[in-house]
Amino acid sequence: MKPAVTIRQIARESGVSVSTVSRVINGSAPVSEDVRRRVERAIEKYAYAPSGFARGLVSRRSMIIGVIMPDITNPYFTAMFREISLAAQRAGYSVLLFNTGFSAATAGETTRNELEAFKVMQEKGADGVLVVGGQADLVRLRPEYRRGLEDMANRVPVVALGNPVDGSRCQFMERERGQGIYMAVEHLFSLGHRRIAFVGGETDVAITERRLGAYGDALAALGLPYDRNLVSTSDYYAPDGWRAADRLIRQGTAFTAVMAMNDGVALGAYRALADHGLRVPEDVSVISCDQFFDADYFTPRLTALNQHNELLGQAVISALLARMRGDAQSRPLKPRPELVVRESCRRIS
């Protein structure tokens, strides 16, 4: 087996320096047309394929992008990570994922995991770091978390998907501000529903607060009162949807429709309604505020807001890559939600 050709051999064959070969490969700086042709001929002659490690040695970069997420098993984060990793690979970077297990309910304990993630990313020499959710999503950040985030941002480019922090060196990008919630409420209203419940989500998490605020604003715009007894928060997964819907039913509050925080919560709500002998949509209509992968496979198929989280994943990695290049802060397009009407909502008299 022939030994692998090195970048130094390509440089000798071309009569240029190693750094010049690197500039031709990466397109990081202009070179003359004659030099470019000589380098490309040598690369073709030896079928040279530069590794990310080799590029890193020349450029003094690790060619690693760090990604910090609270729960990769959550379909929202799964969709985001897929787009982030694909874009990173296309740009020649490997991805180092740290799954923190963060929950607002256990913020004290899981904040330590996030701070550990910040240390790991710096120790591994990541060229840039994406912080997606976790404590960055909270309405109020813990002081130690903010210090740790700023310390990391002083050493490496950081883009955080979460609640903006004034004066931070990080580039913050907001996930959404409740867009689409009015569409969902209006859809139910057009079908005759006037008692619309909201289930799932954690209090003190920005996305929950924004969606609840938009829910209240939509009710007011349609002339409906805001009834606190119709709101049952819990968390973001199927068991939490079951718990939140079960609580609503047991307390005896009348409702004809349920807005679930996401598809996972909606699945739990389906189960709770069935456990109490209620059918979807004959007795209760259900709509999800955040579509995942499987809304088409619910029985009945779930009406949902498609927030296009895959586009948001593309936006955050594009912003980080731009920041790593030293470009001005990008203004990525914010995905517009789309109401996908299926079978889980029905008209009532």
List pLDDT tens digits, range 24-51: 776 556 778 888 888 888 887 777 766 5
All structural domains of the chain with their residue ranges: 7-59, 64-174, 181-307
- Which position has the higher pLDDT, 339 or 11? 339
CB-based burial of residue 305 (10 Å sphere; 0-12 exposed, 13-18 middle, 19+ buried)? buried
For domain 64-174, the CATH architecture is: 3-Layer(aba) Sandwich (3.40)
158-172, 204-218, 288-302, range with the lowest pLDDT = 158-172
What's the pLDDT at 327? Answer: 78
User: Which of 250, 263, 258 shows the shortest CA–CA distance to 296?
Assistant: 263
DSSP readout, 86-142? HHHHHTT-EEEEEE----GGGHHHHHHHHHHHHHHHHHTT-SEEEEESGGGGBSS--
What's the pLDDT at 328? Answer: 61
CB-based burial of residue 152 (10 Å sphere; 0-12 exposed, 13-18 middle, 19+ buried)? buried
- Which position has the higher pLDDT, 52 or 117? 117
Pairing of strands 338-340, 303-306: antiparallel
- Which position has the higher pLDDT, 142 or 36? 142
Separation of alpha carbons 129 and 181, rounded Å: 31
Range 181-307 has CATH code 1.10.3720.10 = no
Residue 246 phi/psi, 5-degree rounding, is: -60, -40
Cα distances (angstroms) measured from residue 20 to each of 9, 45, 65, 329: 13, 18, 25, 29
Q: What is the mean pLDDT of residues 104-130?
A: 87
pLDDT, tens digit (0-9, with 9 covering 90-100), for 155-166: 999 999 988 888
Separation of alpha carbons 347 and 191, rounded Å: 4
Whether 259 and 226 have beta carbons less than 8 Å apart is answered as: no
Highest mean predicted confidence (pLDDT) among 166-170, 229-233, 293-297: 229-233
Q: Is the pLDDT of residue 57 over 50?
A: no
> CA quadruple 86, 88, 91, 92: dihedral positive or negative?
negative
Q: Is the pTM of this model over 0.85?
A: no
Q: Is the pLDDT of residue 59 over 60?
A: no
pLDDT, tens digit (0-9, with 9 covering 90-100), for 172-210: 988 887 889 999 999 999 999 999 999 999 988 999 999
Q: What is the mean pLDDT of the chain?
A: 89
Angle in degrees, CA 269, 99, 238, rounded to 5: 5
Residue 257 phi/psi, 5-degree rounding, is: -145, 150
Separation of alpha carbons 66 and 114, rounded Å: 13
- Confirm whether 64-174 and 181-307 share one CATH topology: yes
Q: What is the mean pLDDT of residues 148-171?
A: 90
258 sits in which H/E element: strand 257-260
Pairing of strands 257-260, 196-199: parallel
Q: Is the pLDDT of residue 53 over 50?
A: no
Q: Is the pLDDT of residue 74 over 80?
A: yes
Q: Domain 7-59: what homologous superfamily?
A: lambda repressor-like DNA-binding domains (1.10.260.40)
